Structure 1
Amino acid sequence: MSEQEYKIVQVTPKDTEKVLEHLRKFFFREEPLNICIKLLGENGDEECLELEQYCAQTIPEGLSLMAVSASGKVIGVALNGSQEPGHLEEMEAYADSCPHPRFRKILQLLAAVDRASDVFGKFPDVDKLVEVRILSVDSAVRGRGIAKVLLEKSTELAKQHDYPLIRIDCSSHFSALAVGRLGFECVFKMPYEDYRQNGEPVFHPEQPHKEVKTYVRRLRP
């Protein structure tokens, strides 16, 4: 699919519902961690309003992008948000207070990865960054470079807003491969077997999804 067949546009609050509609059909149902804990129930037909709120709350920052086909359909989304040092306690409290028990597990994993990866500690000159929180593409147009373009445009947008670093945590083996090919550096990885609560592994995703990886890319010297 050539870039002439779709356009990349900034996501605004008025786009929230159509972005969520896309995510409900694809990312929510297909993300490996969502599948392994049955986030949407045994049959995949339940709602997770807490996940939807998590997605929607980053949109007003103006850092998120979507790919829109010539017919006006959303065919890809990159939900991006900002981070600054000192955010971890708030992130952990948000995760621990989530009323949805299955989504709470995912938020707690994200907080644990954020703490263990210690990106701000590894890059002490960085005072803020852009995090790609969700990257999703319509299954009908995968393999045509849309995710790559969304990441490249997200990087350009971060540069325009003078962010020195962009970060993405990859819970999927395939997303990690794609990000690694785009000039991002892996600065942390954790096998799912090593992430435990009460001594037991929390996540058992299907192969080849065996670890979560944190990638970063510097945007200025």
Structure 2
Amino acid sequence: MFRRLKISCENLSLVSGLLKKNCRNLLQLEVIEKSNQWLVKRCREMNSAISIPRPFSVRLAKAQDEPHIMHFLREHLYDEEPLLRSLNITKTMAIPCLEAYLNDHLKDGFTMIAVEPDNRIVGISLNQRNCDWEGDKLRERAERVQCDPLRKLFYIWSIVAKEPKLHQKYRTSCIFEIAILATAREAQRRGIGYQLTVQSLRLARDLGFDWARMDCTSEYSSRIAKKVGMDCTWSVPYKHLVDSAKKPVVIPDEPHSHIRVHVIQLRGS
């Protein structure tokens, strides 16, 4: 009888050891499973946070692109460009005269656009032929405008167009101008503005222009101009643009502190 009890105790001890071992294994498996679940979740979060840039190409705008270009400018220029934003010129305003001015740029046929494979526009370089009377035309336009923010905008543009005296300095009546450079906010930091600028300068060179200019009201566009080799030939701090009461007309957000005019020679003298 005692022998049987001894055997039973030994069996119970063996079973108990096996149960403890199985419990430990189960606990380890549970920990591993939870760890794997955490890793899978973390990877999914990282994949959702990291967006792979989509490819894009730069081409000359066509006539059928014009309505899409104007829509793009309403969505990505008015609320993003420092000077327009500081003057409270938004896409919700009734601004037919400004859109007429932008449409005049398109008529020159020099505008470049960046498009993704599905032909969605993600960037625009609105280019034009800048003649020595451009500043006077902008001033006349400013005097005809009833809207005060737009009047200020055209006056500032007229100063930037005329004050550097580039036509007299370089002895030419016509300069290629990168007038407006805009990138879709969700497509920024992909080099789109840089490529648009490079291709625009290449177009200007192919068209026979000797000089190109880029009037930068944004610090970011000024950096792009420098990156492609354009020299800053004229600048004015925003705080120096004052009204009759000596108060600043515009106070853009940082880091936009100056308007800068950049120039590059396209062909040898």
The 5-angstrom pairing of residues 1-221 of structure 1 reads: 5-40=55-90, 45-124=92-171, 126-198=172-244, 199-221=246-268
For structure 2, the 5+ residue unaligned runs are: 1-51
Distance 1:31 1:76 in 2: 13
Post-superposition, which runs of at least 4 consecutive aligned residues in structure 1 deviate over 6 A? none
TM-superposed CA distance for 1:96, in Å, is: 2.1
Q: Give the structure with the higher percent strand.
A: 1
| Greater RCO, CA 8 A, separation 6+ | 1
Structure 1: distance between partners of 2:58 and 2:142? 31
Paired with 1:5 and 1:15, the residues of 2 have a C-alpha distance of 20
TM-score under structure 1 normalisation? 0.91
SS of alignment partner, residue 204 of structure 1: coil
Return the offset for 1:50: 2.2
Structure 2-normalised TM-score? 0.75
Q: Which has the higher helix share?
A: 2
- Matched residues, number: 216
What is the match of residue 26 of structure 2? none
Moved more, 9-18 or 66-75: 9-18
CA offsets per residue over residues 97-120 of structure 1, 9 Å max, x none?
A: 223321221111011112211111
Q: CA deviation at 1:21?
A: 1.0
**% identical aligned pairs:** 22
Counterpart contact for 2:134–2:158, Cα < 8 Å: no
Q: Is the partner of 2:110 in helix, strand or coil?
A: coil
5+ residue gaps, structure 1, are: none
Give the aligned CA root-mean-square deviation in angstroms: 1.8
SS in 2 for 1:216: strand
Deviation at 1:74, TM superposition (A): 0.6
